[in-house]
Amino acid sequence: MKIKTSRKILLEGVDRADWIIWGLFVIFCFISYQHGDILHTGGSSIAYLNGHFADFYEYNKDLMGGNNYMPTTYVLFAIWNIPVRLLGLITEPSMSVGAVVRMWYKFGTFLLFLGTGYVIYKICIEKLVPQNKAVLAAFLFVSNPIAIYSELIFGQYDILTTFFICLGFYYYVKEEQKKFVLSFAVAITCKYFAILIFIPLLLLKEKNVWKMIRDIVGGFSLFVIETLLYLTSDAFVSGVFGFGAVDYIFNVSLDTGFAKISIVVLLWGLLCAFCYFKQCSGYDWLSWGIYVSCMVMFLSFGLSMWHPQWLLMAMPFLTLGMFFNKDMDIYLLLDLLLMVLFTLYVVNTWTRACDQNLFNLGIFARYTIGIEQNITMSDLLVLKDTNLIFSLWAAVLLSYVVYLHPKKMFRPENAGSNFRKSILRLRYIGGCCIFILPSVLSVALNTILPNVVYASSQEITEIVGAMQEGDVYEQVFTVQKDSITGIAINIGTYQKENHSILKCELIHKNTDSICNTLEIDTSELVDNQYVRFEFEDAVKVIAGETYAVRISGKRIFAEDTFTFYRMGEKPESTVESGNYAMINGIKQNYDLAIMIYGK
């Protein structure tokens, strides 16, 4: 196809203005926001490039605190990281990397994001959708507000699973069974969530029991191979199979008195049975495949807990369902409503973690790190009842999915025909602004009225390791105010509920006297964010003198320990000037991720 013709098709489905506006949002979000999880995964992958194949999980447990995913994710990151390793930008597994490496990690996942849009385009072309309309389907995915949040604001790697699931669905509608199974085999090793889609799709098409068993074995083959390769590794077993994120599907349950039945698993099993007995042919492979996959999305994200980045995996199927639906306008508005509820839930559930705090690893970090967050996005977005918000979210998502029934779908030649451009623009412009504007406003308001008396000056890089019974961590600092009102510490709980007691003392270093003490029940801590603790009364201090926050614990057990985040290494002269961390009495050339509030 000639370049001129391709450009014409690109602009027939979506106006030039839409691509430009979308591009501006992409650039701003790409450079401005980032969550830290990708630093751990990207950094861990360097162990493979350094030749640590057999001992990958043990090696990283010492350096990175452990790994929770199957090898596929780290192998893919390792391949992408070959250039940065050859250039010496990162030579050992570490979360302490510069902005260039962070952007490199994110750029790789962004290319897969665009690749997923291209696969959606190919799915439409396969079913004889006109090319200009197929481009519109791809645009609907890449401009979906929740997809933009997951990929460009939160900036994680769930696009790996999403891409291979979408690729598997492409081969599904092409009726290339081996490639369908192979694609899902890869997807399953990235996130087990892919199993929930793979089995119903397989049952919808394959009715021969022996072929069904063959394909299920094929779908799990890579998972089994990777497990066998590392089964003797204690770090692999505890890190991968001890990871509790998959337990969310068991939270909503029916208590029979002798056992609890997971509602999600029960309904999923019923869906599988429906798929097996449903007879499809021709166009039905697409329409029923989309519908069944969307039902799985409701079970996964409407009836069980999720993390915000996971929602990306639902977007290809919701996009295809909307694109082929006769009432596309209303679905564009439902996308906008879902983004409103999504944002409200996220900023109220993960306050100071998945909100304005995402600026702290973007290019504006120098202006946001150390700012006291008196006003969070949660404060600006009025509705705060997470139970009500999630209930509304589930209701809207269920309504969205139920009415994507194949009877409501256009034939391919008419897909993407019934919508208004104004509503399309409201959906992606309004959807992005729902998060961007409050996040910018929160930072601006906190910049105007800061009262942080001390904050670690560099960017967060990595954890300091799991705290053990008897460990004592300190952050030494010089205060320039007359009183201290509170402390905020960045704590990691390894996504577990802890049952220990955290003791936090404010020490006057000159006299080694205790100024005040706080005791915190760690079962109330939220993972991977600054947790703020207030003294009942302001503690009087002497401006210009040295103090320390001393942290120790009681009843700390290996299975429910926690950790603290640290900043990057700094010159020895800075350590000698009076601001530094101490671990069990030994000075460190970095600070803990901590903020001290006062007046």
Between 366 and 506, where is the model more confident? 506
Reported as a single tens digit per residue, the pLDDT across 428-474 is 999 999 999 999 999 988 877 546 667 776 666 678 878 888 888 99
What residue type is 389 in one-letter code?
I
Percent residues over pLDDT 70 in the chain: 92
- pLDDT attached to residue 526: 72
CB 548 within 8 A of CB 473: no
d(CA 310, CA 156): 9
- pLDDT attached to residue 6: 57
Task: Give the pLDDT band of residue 51 (cuts 50, 70, 90).
Answer: very high
d(CA 416, CA 198): 27
Residue 576: is its pLDDT beyond 80? no
Q: How would you write 227-252 as a 3-class SS string?
A: HHHHCCCHHHHHHHCCCHHHHHHHCC
d(CA 341, CA 318): 16
| Closest among 522, 429, 538 to 484, alpha carbons compared | 538
pLDDT mean across residues, the chain: 88
d(CA 300, CA 225): 27
Residue 504: is its pLDDT beyond 90? no
- pLDDT attached to residue 242: 79
Which range of 94-108, 245-259, 492-506, 514-528 scores highest in mean pLDDT? It is: 94-108
The pTM is what?
Answer: 0.80
What residue type is 143 in one-letter code?
S
- pLDDT attached to residue 245: 65
Query: Beta-carbon neighbour count of residue 359 at 10 Å?
Result: 22
Between 171 and 456, where is the model more confident? 171
Residue 3: is its pLDDT beyond 50? no
d(CA 252, CA 284): 32
- pLDDT attached to residue 381: 84
Reported as a single tens digit per residue, the pLDDT across 455-467 is 776 666 678 878 8
Task: Give the pLDDT band of residue 571 (cuts 50, 70, 90).
Answer: low
Task: Give the pLDDT band of residue 7 (cuts 50, 70, 90).
Answer: low
d(CA 355, CA 439): 7
Query: Beta-carbon neighbour count of residue 586 at 10 Å?
Result: 7
Which range of 53-62, 280-289, 495-504 scores highest in mean pLDDT? It is: 53-62
CB 195 within 8 A of CB 165: no
- pLDDT attached to residue 246: 67
Task: Give the pLDDT band of residue 4 (cuts 50, 70, 90).
Answer: very low
Reported as a single tens digit per residue, the pLDDT across 349-393 is 998 889 999 999 999 887 787 666 778 899 898 788 999 999 999
Instruction: Please compute the mean of the pLDDT values over residues 238-243 and round it to a whole number.
Output: 85
Range scoring the smallest mean pLDDT among 352-356, 485-489, 526-530, 556-560:
556-560
What residue type is 228 in one-letter code?
L
Instruction: Please compute the mean of the pLDDT values over residues 476-498 and round it to a whole number.
Output: 80
Residue 230: is its pLDDT beyond 50? yes
Instruction: Please compute the mean of the pLDDT values over residues 516-525 and round it to a whole number.
Output: 79
Task: Show contacts of 71-76: CB within 8 Å, 24+ apart.
Answer: 71/189, 71/226, 71/229, 71/230, 72/160, 72/186, 72/189, 72/190, 72/222, 72/226, 73/41, 73/157, 73/160, 73/189, 73/190, 74/41, 74/44, 74/45, 74/47, 74/48, 75/45, 75/48, 76/160
Between 532 and 573, where is the model more confident? 532
- pLDDT attached to residue 32: 96
Instruction: Please compute the mean of the pLDDT values over residues 310-316 and round it to a whole number.
Output: 97
- pLDDT attached to residue 2: 40
Residues in the chain: 599
Task: Give the pLDDT band of residue 5 (cuts 50, 70, 90).
Answer: very low
Between 538 and 138, where is the model more confident? 138
Percent residues over pLDDT 90 in the chain: 56
d(CA 454, CA 481): 9
Residue 170: is its pLDDT beyond 50? yes
Task: Give the pLDDT band of residue 279 (cuts 50, 70, 90).
Answer: confident
- pLDDT attached to residue 438: 96
d(CA 174, CA 123): 8
CB 263 within 8 A of CB 303: yes
Residue 177: is its pLDDT beyond 90? yes
